[in-house]
Amino acid sequence: MFSKDILTQVDNLLSRYPIKQNALIPILLLAQNENDGWLTEKWMQHVADICEVPLTHVEGVVTFYTMFRLKRPGKFHLQVCTCVPCCLVGGQSCWNTQKKN
């Protein structure tokens, strides 16, 4: 599934970690980038096989970290800061306007 260039990067990552499982997150990031910004079950299984971990472990990591996507991303990715200072200057109204549109 990985291109030859990406497989070289995967091999490089695996050589850095004494335990293959420790390379899981960097390899998942490579897989996500290789698959147009999201992960399918097929890709997760491929990474699980490389890292010698069960698919359920990979799914747990993918669903825990927000940097991984299980759905194809849209053309644009909008983020609105929801911290207190941003909310005080109108961040919440910006978010509500975006949700309506």
Domain with residue 47: its CATH number is 1.10.10.1590
To the nearest whole number, what is the mean pLDDT of the chain? 91
Q: In this structure, what token pair is assigned to residue 79?
A: 């983020």
Are residues 59 and 11 part of one domain? Answer: yes
User: Are residues 65 and 27 part of one domain?
Assistant: yes
Q: Is residue 101 over pLDDT 80?
A: no
Average pLDDT over residues 37-54: 97
Residues 101 and 66 in one domain: no
Number of domains the chain contains: 2
Verify that 63 and 21 share a domain, yes or no.
yes
| Statement to judge: residues 42 and 79 lie in one domain | no
Do 37 and 83 fall into the same domain? Answer: no
Report CA torsion sign: 26, 31, 36, 39. Answer: negative
| Inter-residue contact 32 to 39 (CB < 8 Å) | yes
For residue 18, give its domain range. 4-70
Query: Do 94 and 47 belong to one domain?
Result: no
pLDDT value of position 10:
96
Q: How many helices (H) and strands (E) does the chain have?
A: 6, 0
> What pTM, to 2 d.p., does this model score?
0.77
